[in-house]
Amino acid sequence: MLDDEDSYRDPYHEEWGVHLNLDPETRVWELTARGSAAMLLFIFMDVSQMSLVNKLIEEARFDSAIKGYDLDGE
């Protein structure tokens, strides 16, 4: 039988990773990242289709449509 610590893996205790959480009421994002400097730099500089940067751009565009911000005019 597994004890409670073995049956639940807290993602914040992984060796590396990025966790992006949204408060749906306020649309405020929480970003937590853990890893070596090289790994974090790679994650933040990645602009591929499924990257963190593209996810944030997509969400910022959604917010701009809802709140009337003009991101493309910057």
What global pTM score does this model have?
0.63
Q: Taking 90 as the threshold, does the pLDDT of residue 11 lie above it?
A: no
pLDDT digits (tens, 9 = 90+) for 15-58: 788 899 999 988 899 999 999 999 999 999 998 999 999 999 99
For the chain, domain boundaries: 36-74
For residues 11 and 19, the model is more confident at 19
Which helix (DSSP H) or strand (DSSP E) does residue 54 occupy? helix 52-67
Q: Taking 80 as the threshold, does the pLDDT of residue 4 lie above it?
A: no
Q: Tell me, what's the pLDDT at 71?
A: 63
Indicate the pLDDT class of residue 1, thresholds 50, 70 and 90.
very low
d(CA 28, CA 16): 23
